[in-house]
Chain A
Amino acid sequence: MTRRALSLLLPLLCLAPCGAETPVEKANREKILLIGNASDPKSLDPHLVTGVIEHNIIRSLLEGLVSDDAYSDTAYPPGAATSWEHNENYTEWTFHLRPDGKWSDGAPLTSADFIFGYNRLLHPDTLGPYAEMLFFLKNAEKFNRGEITDFSQVGVSAPDDYTLKLTMREPVPFLLGMTRHYTWFPVPRHVILRFGKMTDRFTPWCEPGNFVGNGAFVLKEWKLNDHVDVAKNPLYWDAANVKLNGLRFIPAENYYTETRGFLAGQLHTTYQLPPPLVDKIKEECPQYLHQEPYLATDFIRVNVTRPKLDNPKVRMAMSLAIDRKLLCDNVLQGNIPCGTICPNLGDYKPDQIVSFDPERAKALLAEAGYKDGVGLPRFKLLMSSTGSRGTVEAIQAMWRDTLGINIDLQPKDWGAYVSAQQKLDYDIALAAWTGDYLDPSTFLLMWTKDNGNNNTGWSNPEYERMLSEAAQQADPAQRLAIFKKAERMFIEDQAILPISYRGRNYLHRPEVKGWSPLLLDNHPWHTISLEP
């Protein structure tokens, strides 16, 4: 029997001789970084996409005015621009482009390419879903809405080929960080126009073989659901210091599959480690485990238009009954308990407004007229079918045990989940928000009355007045102080119940050098090296 079993295994053994090189070892030799990237990009056209997955790839192919720093979120190394200055109240910024900047086909990179990019994204016919990232530019929103048709009225101009002047609608002291987002990147005007009109949504300009970029890498191959390969760009301004020969982005959607692939030597870094595996990895191979903060917050969205939930005391009681530390220690491994929505952002340190306080929670609920939950209906907790079931089940138990509130879980497919929130067709919903740039406005602006991401029914004119006041404030310290007051007002009303600041658990090989924790997770590909 043993002999038979061996004879069955023999062909397999022949296929893989002992000591065969793993994909990672081969990639180390060839200086190719193998990266788990969660899913296939929707597109590589920076004006048609909105996601992090696409950002990871696009920022290897295109470079903005300033570059990413490998060790700091708030350091701004030069990118396509070598220097910049702004006026006293941060409403006018001037960027000086590098005169040796080139596209990967050798064409010179000029300020016209940036202006063309902003024109294309903002043009009403392009239908760019993320055009609002540029609304900080003067008249940009009006142009995008079609209220003005002359692009020269938008706050962007080029005094010469290598100078770009941006005029903002309000003081924007955090502009440098924003320009690292792909919506602010230049696009190759000469290539896009070769394949069609400026506003044509679908042309083959960003296909392999056609894509021309100014980043450290060029697009080599894109096999759907398999991989996106980029290779070193010899015409990149800093090509001499780019240590990798290429990157391979692998869209491993199943994080268990991705983890297995990493441990089998097929990846240098994973996109995410499933929380249930954290303890096992800590035990078996802690050298690979990375647990780092990330610019995102998990919370529970409340539909404040629903009877009973329209009472702030009920919402606050529910919030005070959540033991966030217990949740983070046991379910959301790597996350940090939080009592507000905005994480610490350098100079901005928000107050932690709510924390676990069961006695106060019970008292508040009784004050609201629902002692021990009597009189409250069974609320439904909406979640996406891929959401954390452990989190909602734990919260369900906490509310039942502490307050006597019973809830039912309501899992829905992603599309139905988003749609239900947008239509306010839910009671409470498990949700999250990821910041786009390092400024509290990325977490606070969405809670205004008509914002498409609010989805709570909550609004407060005083809150909106404060946000407007902050927007007009030129002094950065004053501006942040107003944001802090506004955030307190929002959280004290508990239209959302904060849970935790998101942590990123992932696996990463030690031979990848030039990689350190970054809140936005934008590791600059051009400074990374492989040193086995």
Chain B
Amino acid sequence: MFKALFSRLIQSLLVLLVLFTVTFFLVKAMPGNPLNREKAMPEHIRVKLEHYYGLDKPVLAQYGIQLGRYLQGDPGYSIRLEGREVTDIISQAFPVSFQLGVLAMGVAITIGIPAGCLAAARKNGLIDVMAMSIAMFGICLPSFVIGPLLAEFFGRKLQLLPAFGWDAIDPKTWILPAVTLGLAYAAYLSRLTRAGMLETLSQDFVRTAKAKGVPGWKILIRHCLRGGLIPAVAYIGPAFAGIISGSLVIETVFQVPGLGRHFIKSIETLDAPVIMGVTMLYGTLVIVANFLTDLAGIWLNPRLRKSS
């Protein structure tokens, strides 16, 4: 067990190193200069600033310096937000994205899994058709359409909820962004749950249980749910890593001060330290989420437990 864990750790570190290297050179390959401003600064100041930020060094030297900093746990300073430490930016924005992501995933699980179970239980019935139609609608309709519609209706017309803004302690500000973000994930989850449940429901032990006269709901929840959820759980892990690391669309539509806006802004302005910082955080989250997903999969599937 420890050997497997150690091997997994080494693999993860290698993945992070590759991610770091690829991202670094991709950023360097982008056209433009992070010191570009709408109004150009005097050339002598630009030259000195390039020296100050180490942008005048060969790319390989910059790579070495940046990697050395990361190994010491110091991602450096943002170039766009003058003097602001990358860790400071992430520590302010990530909790917001995390909170929004957890709420959105809560919405997705609360809607998606029961809908998928119901659809599977009433296969080809009216409920199944309706649930899957709504799910298809949720998948096809992007959040930049749903978000403004919800904000316009509940925020502007009814004035029930804030049209924008985020307050970590005011639940009213969470509802619209979390619902908008959660709906798309709920749609995927319902389809995956339905597929998993249908597969489980077709197994021999279900037929046996039915023959013994076990009630339908009991078969569904007690006997099938655990196995039927495996595809959904495999999806939730990586999706959760993505959802908590920020959603640009939701953050822009609802003016949420999360990580997604920083990430996009840093790409637009070639703010390499922030791009690297957020990418590495995202990479780490995906690795951790995948690991936890594997653990959950092992717990849900006894055959996997034995093989591991």
Residues of A within 8 A of B (CB): 12-13, 15-16, 20, 22-23, 40, 42-43, 45, 48-51, 124, 127-132, 144-146, 201-203, 223-226, 250, 252-254, 256-258, 260-261, 263-266, 412-416, 418-420, 422, 451-453
Contacts and interface: CB of A to CB of B under 8 A. Distances in A.
6 tightest Cβ-Cβ pairs between the two chains A and B: A415-B32, A452-B40, A202-B83, A264-B163, A225-B257, A43-B82
B77 A202 contact: yes
Interface stretch (B181-189, B221-229, B261-269): B261-269
B257 A415 contact: no
A251 to B, nearest CB: 8
A128 B46 CA distance: 10
B44 A422 contact: no
A521 to B, nearest CB: 16
A418 B32 contact: yes
Contacts of A451: 40
Interface centre among B82, B152, B154, B254 (most CB of A within 10 A): B82
B204 interface: no
A134 to B, nearest CB: 12
A45 B83 CA distance: 10
Given A48-B82, A50-B39, 4 more contacts: A124-B44, A130-B41, A226-B166, A414-B36
B197 interface: no
A127 B164 contact: no
A264 B45 contact: no
Contacts of B155: 260-261, 264
25 contacts: A15-B171, A16-B160, A42-B80, A43-B81, A48-B82, A50-B38, A132-B41, A132-B42, A223-B257, A224-B93, A226-B257, A250-B255, A252-B255, A254-B253, A260-B163, A264-B151, A264-B156, A264-B159, A414-B269, A415-B30, A415-B31, A415-B33, A420-B31, A422-B36, A452-B41
B158 to A, nearest CB: 8
A23 B253 CA distance: 18
B242 interface: no
Contact of A453 (B39, B46, B92, B154): B39
Interface string B148-174: 100110111001111111100001100
A129 B262 CA distance: 23
B31 A261 contact: no
A281 B38 CA distance: 30
A410 B214 CA distance: 67
B48 interface: yes
A20 B159 CA distance: 9
B2 interface: no
A423 to B, nearest CB: 9
A256 B148 CA distance: 9
Nearest to A454: B40
B159 A145 contact: no
Interface of B: 30-34, 36-46, 48-49, 52, 77, 80-84, 89, 92-93, 148, 151-152, 154-156, 159-166, 171-172, 175, 252-255, 257-258, 261-262, 267-270
Contacts of B42: 131-132, 144, 452
Main secondary structure of the interface of B (DSSP, over half): loop
Nearest to A253: B252
A260 B252 contact: no
Contacts of A414: 32, 36, 268-269
Contact of A40 (B81, B160, B270): B81
A257 B268 CA distance: 20
B31 A416 contact: yes
B175 A15 contact: yes
A145 B44 contact: yes
B253 A127 contact: no
A16 B92 contact: no
Contacts of B258: 225
Given A414-B268, A415-B32, A419-B33, A13 B81 contact: no
Nearest to B155: A264
A224 B92 contact: yes
A416 B93 contact: no
Contact of A254 (B33, B166, B252, B268): B252
Contacts of A257: 151, 163-164, 252-255
A226 B96 CA distance: 11
B272 to A, nearest CB: 11
Given A49-B82, A416-B32, A225 B262 contact: yes
A15 B160 contact: yes
B165 A15 contact: no
B14 to A, nearest CB: 31
B145 to A, nearest CB: 12
Contact of A48 (B83, B89, B92, B270): B83
Contacts of B46: 452
B96 to A, nearest CB: 8
Contacts of A452: 40-43, 46
B162 A13 contact: no
Given A224-B92, A413-B32, A261 B165 contact: yes
Nearest to B77: A202
Contacts of B262: 224-225
Nearest to B269: A415
A387 to B, nearest CB: 12
A42 B32 CA distance: 19
B82 A127 contact: no
B31 A419 contact: yes
A256 B253 CA distance: 8
Given A127-B48, A252-B255, A266 B36 contact: no
A203 B175 CA distance: 38
A252 B251 CA distance: 10
A412 B45 CA distance: 26
B83 A201 contact: yes
B257 A224 contact: yes
A516 to B, nearest CB: 27
A97 B253 CA distance: 47
